[in-house]
A and B are shown apart, each in its own frame.
Chain A
Amino acid sequence: MNLSMILISAILVNNAVLIKSESVCPLIGASGSDRSAAAMSLTVLFTTLTAQAIIWPIHYYVIEPFQLHYLETISTVLVVAGLVQAEELLFSSRWPALRSELGIYLPLTAANGAILSVLSENLTDGNSFADSMAYALGTGLAFCLAMFLFRCIRMKLLYSDIPESFRGPASSMIAAAILALVFMGFSGLIEGLFGMGM
């Protein structure tokens, strides 16, 4: 699979957030302001790429040779959590206001389903380093796209007259539902763009 196919697949057809329904929580939580949305997207993108770059060699030079597959989860989680902790320290020291805006969703990046799943899928599928990095880039960008669209929707919602019970996460969820529905329309895009397989 070439790079463009991987990227289109990861960003549109198989969008980690809206199609595979991973990591929806930060979408709802960090889209309160433009700054926090941008910060969250960049954090996820950076974490995914760096974690993939570190985990691929660990898997092929440490885990595979010694057959330590049962330590796979722990090593993946540790790398991601370590990166997130470093990011948290960075944010706390340089941009403390942004850190408070993100609240608990910054540490929660360590439990980001999209990141953990793309890391483990790349290992299960036995992708090469280049392909794995491409998938990681695609997943990070997928999150950025979903976050960006969602932030735009929430800005519109701010000026709408929402019933009392629906204010807050409830209206966001329903907006996310419609967004997910829209993304379902991308299925079959790969076959259309790159020619039918059979």
Chain B
Amino acid sequence: MNGVKNAASSIIVTCTLCLVACMVVTLCFQVTEERITQNEQAKANELRLELLPDADSFTKVDDCDLVQGVTEIYKADNKTGWIITAQARGYQGWVTVMTGIDQSGKITSVKVTDVSAETAGIGTKLTKQDYLDQYRGASSVSSYKGKLNSTYIEAVSGASYTSEAVFNCVSLSFMQVQELIDSEKEAKLYEQKK
């Protein structure tokens, strides 16, 4: 009888504590949700301004088809360029990269925003600005030396999968910008035909 009583009281206490814990956390979440989204949006905007310093503000592009792997497109309101967020499979998880591309199709800046799934210490070398600076100003990237009109991108030794993921993200961003430019041209032609 004691055993059953013990088991029953254990279960009741654990379940009550569980409920109380969930309620406390849910309450906290309700209270802080709005502020958290505001803070996140402000931080994201700051990051975008870092990538495309000539821009003033950004609008999200929703009406264009996203290339497979691209998660977000932001267009600068003063038409100085785009910010493409893309994801590619790295060593152990997804690597998220934000690329700033100006109207002429050249990269202004590359930022690796999420490389947490990769090997600590080595994968994180790819977040360093000295490494990512090799992408700056490129209008086309290649992993082979000597490809015409393409900037050769060097991988980080010991982190080739992660380097490849960053490279893929940037390539996807180029593809996306090309589609955006094409669709804008089409829209202009359509307007002219009218």
Direct contact of A and B (CB under 8 A): yes
| A74→B25 CA distance, assembly (Å) | 9
Residue from the set B21, B26, B119 with the largest chain A CB neighbour count within 10 Å: B119
Docked complex: B132-169 residues within 8 A CB-CB of A: 143, 155, 157-158, 160-161, 163-164, 167
The number of residue pairs between A and B whose CB atoms lie closer than 8 Å in the complex comes to 56
Separation in Å of the A124 CB from the closest CB of chain B? 7
- By a CB distance below 8 angstroms, the chain B residues around A197 are 155, 160-161, 163-164
Separation in Å of the B189 CB from the closest CB of chain A? 39
Q: Is A190 an interface residue (CB 8 A)?
A: yes
Chain A interfacial residues counted at CB < 8 A: 22
Chain B interfacial residues counted at CB < 8 A: 25
**A187 and B122 contact, CB distance less than 8 A:** yes
| Interface bits B79-117 vs A (CB < 8 Å: 1, else 0) | 000000000000111100000000000000000000011
- By a CB distance below 8 angstroms, the chain A residues around B143 are 198
**B117 and A187 contact, CB distance less than 8 A:** no
- By a CB distance below 8 angstroms, the chain B residues around A188 are 157-158
- By a CB distance below 8 angstroms, the chain A residues around B1 are none
Q: A197-B161, A198-B143 are in contact. Are A125 and B18 (CB under 8 A)?
A: no
Q: Is B120 an interface residue (CB 8 A)?
A: yes
- By a CB distance below 8 angstroms, the chain A residues around B155 are 197-198
Residue from the set B18, B28, B91, B157 with the largest chain A CB neighbour count within 10 Å: B91
Q: Is B131 an interface residue (CB 8 A)?
A: no
Q: A197-B161, A198-B155, A198-B167 are in contact. Are A70 and B92 (CB under 8 A)?
A: no
Q: Is A71 an interface residue (CB 8 A)?
A: yes
**B22 and A198 contact, CB distance less than 8 A:** no
Cβ contact of A198, chosen from B91, B158, B163, cutoff 8 A: B163
- By a CB distance below 8 angstroms, the chain A residues around B22 are 71, 74
Residue of B nearest to A187 (CB): B158
Known: A197-B161, A198-B163; 12 extra A-B contacts, CB below 8 A, are: A13-B119, A14-B119, A70-B28, A71-B25, A121-B93, A126-B94, A188-B157, A190-B91, A191-B158, A191-B161, A197-B163, A197-B164
What are the 3 A-B residue pairs with the smallest beta carbon separation, nearest first? A125-B93, A197-B160, A188-B158
